[in-house]
């Protein structure tokens, strides 16, 4: 069990970080089949900071990985299913929204899935 008490599961050949994430995937697949969303992807990655050199030391790129990405009514959406919003996630979400203002970031409470 992880420190956030989520149980990783595998379904459809995909590893999900929690049962709630898997349930949300199933909901999104139904929405895609119904034509409400398109281009559903799992674990899309976005660069928040590029690789760089600081004080002569190489720093790796910093990335955010969402749970799901899709297009809804012509707008790109990234979702993250969360049981609890941590300070680290809040910082990543702020950086993501700053870097990608044209992509909507939705936080889905795990208890609502």
CATH code for position 22: 3.40.1350.10
* Structural domain boundaries, residue 108: 9-112
The C-alpha atoms of residue 92 and residue 100 are separated, in whole angstroms, by: 12
Q: Which residues, at least 6 apart from 47, have a Cβ–Cβ distance to it below 8 Å? A: 61, 62, 63, 99
- Would residue 3 count as lying in a domain? no
- Would residue 1 count as lying in a domain? no
- Would residue 33 count as lying in a domain? yes
The C-alpha atoms of residue 25 and residue 93 are separated, in whole angstroms, by: 20
Residue 7 tokens read as 């149980």
The answer to whether residue 4 scores a pLDDT higher than 70 is no
- Would residue 4 count as lying in a domain? no
- Would residue 56 count as lying in a domain? yes
Overall average pLDDT of the 51-62 stretch: 96
pLDDT of 63 reads 96
Residue 9: pLDDT band (50, 70, 90) is very high
- Would residue 30 count as lying in a domain? yes
Overall average pLDDT of the 73-84 stretch: 95
Q: Which residues of 56-73 are buried (b: 16+ CB within 10 A; e: fewer)?
A: eeeeeeeebebbbbbeee
The answer to whether residue 2 scores a pLDDT higher than 70 is no
The answer to whether residue 40 scores a pLDDT higher than 90 is yes
Q: How many domains does the chain have?
A: 1
């Amino acid at each position: 069990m992880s420190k956030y008490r989520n149980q990783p599961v595998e379904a459809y050949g995909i590893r999900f970080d929690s049962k709630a994430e898997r349930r949300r995937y199933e909901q999104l697949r139904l929405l895609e089949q119904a034509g409400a969303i398109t281009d559903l992807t799992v674990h899309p990655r976005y660069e928040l900071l590029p690789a760089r050199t600081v004080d002569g030391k190489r720093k790796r790129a910093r990335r955010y990985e969402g749970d799901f990405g899709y297009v809804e009514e012509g707008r790109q959406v990234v979702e993250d299913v969360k049981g609890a919003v941590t300070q680290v996630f809040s910082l990543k979400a702020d950086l993501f929204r700053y870097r990608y203002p044209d992509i909507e970031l939705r936080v889905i409470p795990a208890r609502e899935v």
